[in-house]
Amino acid sequence: MQQDRGQWGSTVGFVLAAAGSAIGLGNIWRFPYVTGNNGGAAFVIIYLACVLVICLPYLLAELVLGRHTQRNPVGAIAAIKRHTPWPLVGGLGVLTGVFILSYYAVIAGWAFGYIFKTVVAPGMPHAEFAASPAIVVPLFAIFIVLTVLVVIGGVEHGIERWAKILMPILLLLMFVVIIRGCTLPGAGKGLEFYLMPDFSVVTGRVVLEALGQAFFSLSLGMGAIITYGSYLPKTANLWVSGTSVAIFDTGIALLAGFMIFPAVFAMGKDPAQGPPLLFEVLPEIFTHMPFGGVVAVLFFVLLSIAALTSTVSLLEVVVSFFVDERRWTRSRAVWVVGGIAFVVGLPSLLSQGANTTLSEMSLLGNTSFLFIMDFLWGNLSLAVGALLLSIFVGWVWGITRAGEEMNQGSQAGPGWIRLWGFFVRWVCPVLILIVLINLFGVFGE
């Protein structure tokens, strides 16, 4: 069984693929608008603290569980504690994968559509674009099909090779946009908003959003890293590869902020305008630069690719479950799950102006079906999943056994294991729990 599952060619291959999963719309589209909504710099600091204190130790826990068991999230947990309710945590992860994919591909379809929109209809307002079913339904369908085709074809040879070439180009283009944005008159105000913290705006809700954003951005809490880690050879150094993924991902998110905020303030726009932020602001910057049209097309091509490597990982988790546990063929699993994600995604797709009921519904301050889904699955479910999984690795499987696996392929001393163990057993569950309780108002704001 283990021989059939395949492995990454190298640790670098894994880091690239996992970074490809992590880096996506979460960094470039979601991070800036969530930062904008939550007051700027103070949010960024809380976000960075969450990454360091909660997400990095937790990421290593998912990684070590995946490599040890060589299984999908359900199978990995069952391999350690069969005949208990624990594998249901993996099941929650698989379910979460379907739901996140369903609305994530909607936004990814927008990014894909903007490649053409910047050329064909640059003047069309974003709201009108997102509310036109004739435009967004085909884009959404195309994006789901693209994801399906990549996952059928095997992640290692397609996407991994692409990511190697295209991620550096995305980085380069981001620098081009950053330089243009920062040299616009009035850009300084944006840097101030992004870098000078005002902690008076911090509430319990802000902390939950920061934690949720950190989990989402690193693809944590639903077993994506378990799945990708399951294809790692025993010789790989988990400390180094896990930390590299976190550094890449966080770096790209921080750069996205530098790309957006100076320009937002220079052009007198509202940083707290929410999800349309990137789609409203970037096309305007492009009109203010030489060869802006070319840069715009390139930028949205690369953003689409970054999104594709993320949708691929979402689909891969669900597919690996059906292939490992239900013995489905890969192609059957891929088409069935892709089809389900499409159907489940339709209400999200139509909730951006096309249908009034779906667009105006609201839950705990999140408006529209799409953003309610994002809150429930992209925030809440990831935090609950991570809470349970850190308890599972830290207490049920145990740091001693997990530590032995950690140290295959590396020579970290016992002090490191103990430190990591302390974070996984205590810091992660306790802090996540506090944030969750706070959300439901037990501690008040």
CB of 101 to ligand TRP, least distance (A): 8
CB of 410 to ligand TRP, least distance (A): 25
219 vs 368 by CB, closer to ligand TRP: 219
Going by C-beta distance under 8 Å and a sequence separation of 6 or more, which residues neighbour residue 291?
A: none
Are the C-beta atoms of residues 217 and 31 closer than 8 Å to each other? yes
End-to-end CA distance of the chain: 50
Residue 70 binds to ligand TRP (criterion: CB under 6 A): no
What single-letter DSSP state applies at residue 427?
I
CA distance 42 to 401: 38
Residue 313 binds to ligand TRP (criterion: CB under 6 A): yes
Residue 219 binds to ligand TRP (criterion: CB under 6 A): yes
- Tokens, residue 52: 């360091």
Are the C-beta atoms of residues 94 and 323 closer than 8 Å to each other? no
Are the C-beta atoms of residues 16 and 161 closer than 8 Å to each other? no
CB of 201 to ligand TRP, least distance (A): 24
Going by C-beta distance under 8 Å and a sequence separation of 6 or more, which residues neighbour residue 343?
A: none
CA distance 148 to 312: 8
Residue 314 binds to ligand TRP (criterion: CB under 6 A): yes
Are the C-beta atoms of residues 72 and 442 closer than 8 Å to each other? no
Residue 388 binds to ligand TRP (criterion: CB under 6 A): no
63 vs 289 by CB, closer to ligand TRP: 63
CB of 145 to ligand TRP, least distance (A): 18
Residue 320 binds to ligand TRP (criterion: CB under 6 A): no
Going by C-beta distance under 8 Å and a sequence separation of 6 or more, which residues neighbour residue 45?
A: 197
23 vs 187 by CB, closer to ligand TRP: 23
Residue 224 binds to ligand TRP (criterion: CB under 6 A): yes
Of 121-129, 187-195, 214-222, 344-352, the segment contacting ligand TRP by CB under 6 A is: 214-222
> Which H/E stretch holds residue 153?
helix 133-153
The Cβ of residue 414 has, within 10 Å, a number of other Cβ atoms equal to 10
Q: Which residue in the set 227, 244, 304, 310 belongs to the binding site for ligand TRP (CB under 6 A)?
A: 310
Residue 26 binds to ligand TRP (criterion: CB under 6 A): yes
Residue 25 binds to ligand TRP (criterion: CB under 6 A): yes
70 vs 311 by CB, closer to ligand TRP: 311
> Which H/E stretch holds residue 320?
helix 292-326
238 vs 306 by CB, closer to ligand TRP: 306
Q: Which residue in the set 11, 217, 351, 390 belongs to the binding site for ligand TRP (CB under 6 A)?
A: 217
Give the count of residues interacting with ligand TRP (CB under 6 A). 16
25 vs 246 by CB, closer to ligand TRP: 25
265 vs 392 by CB, closer to ligand TRP: 392
Of 12-20, 119-127, 217-225, 413-421, the segment contacting ligand TRP by CB under 6 A is: 217-225
CA distance 366 to 57: 30
> Which H/E stretch holds residue 184?
none
Residue 100 binds to ligand TRP (criterion: CB under 6 A): yes
Residue 379 binds to ligand TRP (criterion: CB under 6 A): no
CA-based angle 169:172:174, to the nearest 5? 110
CA distance 165 to 155: 15
Residue 147 binds to ligand TRP (criterion: CB under 6 A): no
Q: Which residue in the set 222, 232, 319, 402 belongs to the binding site for ligand TRP (CB under 6 A)?
A: 222
CB of 102 to ligand TRP, least distance (A): 13
Residue 257 binds to ligand TRP (criterion: CB under 6 A): no
CA distance 166 to 186: 32
CB of 223 to ligand TRP, least distance (A): 8
DSSP characters over 354-384: TSHHHHH-EETTEESHHHHHHHIIIIIIHHH
Give the footprint of ligand TRP on this chain (CB under 6 A).
Answer: 21-22, 24-27, 100, 216-217, 219, 222, 224, 310, 313-314, 382
